[in-house]
Amino acid sequence: MTRRTRHSSLPLNARDVIFKQDALDALYQAADGYPYFVQAYGKVTWDVAAASPISAADVAVAAPEAER
């Protein structure tokens, strides 16, 4: 996601963190569309990503931890 959303109070906006579209797609696919798991994968990905923008490669690194 390279554009700002209208939800400026979101933590990622406050910290100038960007999730690239490929990362969002990878999160959704890994979570099989379940909102809880999207959040779980998103949190672990956020924790392990070295820098913004967060990419699908970051999701791949985070997946084993998120699946625990």
Instruction: Express each pLDDT in 16-47 by its tens digit.
Output: 788 999 999 999 999 998 889 988 999 999 99
**Cβ neighbour number for residue 31 with a 10 Å cutoff:** 17
pLDDT recorded at residue 1: 41
pTM: 0.76
DSSP states along 3-68:
S--S-TTSHHHHTT--B-HHHHHHHHHHTTT-HHHHHHHHHHHHHH--SSSB-HHHHHHHHHHHT-
Q: Sorting pLDDT into bands at 50, 70 and 90, what band is 9?
A: low
d(CA 15, CA 64): 25
Indicate if the pLDDT at residue 7 is higher than 50: no
pLDDT recorded at residue 33: 83
